[in-house]
Structure 1
Amino acid sequence: MASHWSNYANRSAQIVRDSLAKMLLMKGAEVPPREPRILFSFNTKEDIRQYATGCDADIGGNSTVHLDLDENPQHNTSIGKAATGVFWGEMRLDVKPGMEKKIRGGYAGFRNMNRPTIFGNMMEDVSNHHFLALRLRIAGDPRTHNSYYVNIQTDGPISTDLWQHRLFFRRRDNAWEDIFIPFDNFVRTNSGEMSESQIKMYQEKIRSVGISLLGGNSAVTGKYELGIDTIRAVNEEDVEATSVSPHSP
């Protein structure tokens, strides 16, 4: 409980600091800040508690989902971290008896939970950045590697809109890599389907960012594992400067 109220107070104080800084420095009249920003991290137990998980088992499927803190040095030493997050479980397409033809199996995912403050839920403004950057480590059954998606929810006019982009991995050797996705390349979806009307994402108020494994879309099953270190907002000049080399051990 103490941790909950501490987070609440810290988030509220951060909003006050950011607002005061904008007024005192008159940032609206200056060149917009372009430095990289860490939006979400997965390096402590407290970090991991900020995310919600879900899978088709919530409605009658048989997939499993976990988001845990991974303190294995073999996974983390190469990026200089003591711990990172690991999203793992088993992707299954079958469903529980009696649920046949009622639901479709093959889904697991996580996203950050709402972050309440005295001013309302905390949002992220990434309007001065062009890329979402994710530091990830792909493992698990190779069949699952091509079915991951990153999802963004904004505080736009339609609350059920979800902005989605598939994750494409260069490495397949259980090593870290940075994946950069232009915000303009995200596709607007609603209720799991691509929206006919594609509009620009409302980057000024990002409510949540998450990752999902959609095995049901591609008839993929198997044990899945995805390491995750950070989710960041960056610009063109940061893409190469902040990358984990695809040739590093």
Structure 2
Amino acid sequence: MALTFKLLNKVGYSPEHQWNIFCPLAKLAFAQCTPRMHSSSYRRPGVPPDNTPPWKKIDFNFQKGVKEVKKHFGLLKKELVDHWTGPEGRPLVEHILEQTRVLWEFRCQQDLEQWVVSSDQEIGGRSEAYLKLGKNNQTALLCGTLNTNVPRDGETRYSGYCSMRSKLPQAAFNRLKHYDWSSFNSLHLRVRGDGRSWMVNLGTEMYFSHQKNDLYNYFLFTRGGPYWQDVKIPFSKFFLTSRGRIQDNQQPAWLDKINTLGFTLGDKVDGPFQLEIDFIGVCNDRAHTEEFAYEKYKRNP
């Protein structure tokens, strides 16, 4: 890095131009040298670290290996066919004129397997969360019990959350893949809740590995009762947080680098909860022209 700046100084680039040149170089270096880290590095207090060698964690199963090879070659074939068809496997005309897109529907058990449910039990809490099909097998029902009792480990100060998030998209042979929502400006949900307030989370690809805990969040207010509600949340309303703390330096989300979508409940109210979801999609609302809802102030040096 120092050698790069020395060469740019000799050529006569200003510091601003040097930084604009260095940012893509740094991104490429981290992409090549640093693995994609999205799993939590949290370890419960009092639990010894896992020093098991990596080769002992591998399950040498021939039948499973053949199944995985077939799966990845099938994904590779689909990628090649989609590449010649058009963006994301659809014709170019359809991609340009598309105004709405349904991303997730919940009509069978396989649709639920695309999501991961978690709670504060990972840190010793007592909350419970379950994801199952609705009564008519046409919706997803996230239900459970929220418990804010703090585990007595001497370090944890807060507890009481339940969440569900979509699994990371992967291409053939576990290559990086992202959702591209750059043609849309709003998130469209059809939900039925119990009156609680939820947090909608967007996980995007970041420049550096230490930004793995960054998320874009916005609120989902459910009415409760027997009626469904259609919710449209503009992407310009999502604000940047890191480990739950709102950041001073706000910037719009990269809609062409979306990794995950999730829902989190942590309203500090003990008791049962439920959130029923019909579908999750994106749309292009022509009436919404806002680019970013939050102002950025220049701090006095």
Q: Could you tell me which residue of structure 2 aligns to residue 132 of structure 1?
A: 187
Structure with bigger gyration radius? 2
TM superposition shift of 1:34? 3.1
The answer to whether residue 191 in structure 2 is matched with residue 191 in structure 1 is: no
- Farther-moved stretch of structure 1 (32-41 vs 124-133): 32-41
Cα distance in 2 for partners of 1:132, 1:237 equals 13
* Structure 1 residue ranges, 4+ long, deviating more than 6 angstroms after superposition: 1-7, 23-26
Paired with 1:209 and 1:230, the residues of 2 have a C-alpha distance of: 13
Looking at structure 1, the residues matched to 71 and 142 of structure 2 have their Cα atoms a distance apart, in angstroms, of: 23
- Can you give the 5+ residue segments of structure 2 that lack an aligned partner in the other structure? 1-63, 289-301
- Please give the root-mean-square deviation of Cα atoms over the aligned residues, in Å: 3.1
Q: Is the 8 A contact 1:61 1:104 kept in 2?
A: no
2:227 matches 1:182: no
C-alpha deviations, 1:155-208, integer Å up to 9, x for none?
222332101000023x42132221100001001111111111100100002111
- Name the CA shift for 1:8/1:105 in 2 (closer, same or farther; >3 Å): farther
The superposition leaves residues 94-142 of structure 1 with CA deviations (integer Å, 9 ceiling, x where unpaired) of 033x236524111100101123221724321110101001111113xx4
- What TM-score do you get using the length of structure 2 for normalisation? 0.64
**Contact 1:11/1:122 (<8 A) preserved:** no
Which segment is superposed worse, 42-51 or 113-122? 113-122
Larger deviation, residues 110-119 vs 177-186: 110-119
Q: Which has the higher helix share?
A: 2
Give 2:199's aligned amino acid. Answer: Y
Tell me the residue number matched to 1:149: 199
Q: Are residue 107 (structure 1) and residue 157 (structure 2) matched?
A: no
Residue 116 of structure 1: aligned partner: 170
SS at match of 1:53: strand
Identity %: 25
Runs of at least 5 residues in structure 1 that lack an aligned partner in the other structure: 74-81, 240-249
User: 2 CA distance for matches of 1:238 and 1:5?
Assistant: 47
TM-score by length of 1: 0.76
CA gap of 1:52–1:63, structure 2 versus 1, over 3 A, is same
Query: Would you say the 8 A contact 1:92–1:221 is kept in 2?
Result: yes
1:21 matched to 2:85: yes
Shift of 1:238: 10
Pairwise CA distance, 1:53: 1.0
Match status 1:34 vs 2:98:
yes
2:164 is paired with a residue of what secondary structure?
strand
Change (3 A) 1:10 1:194: farther
Distance in 1 (alpha carbons) for counterparts of 2:67 and 2:281: 24
Q: Which amino acid aligns with 2:99?
A: E
Distance 1:25 1:222, change over 3 A: closer
Give the letter aligned to residue 123 of structure 2.
I
2:144 maps to 1:89: yes
Task: Tell which has more relative contact order, 1 or 2 (C-alpha 8 A, sep 6+).
Answer: 1
Corresponding letter in the other structure for 1:162: L
Aligned length: 219
Residue equivalent to 2:262: 210
Residue 100 of structure 2 contacts residue 282 of structure 2 at CA under 8 Å; is this kept in 1?
yes
**Residues 40-51 of structure 1 mapped to structure 2, 5 A cutoff:** 40-51=104-115
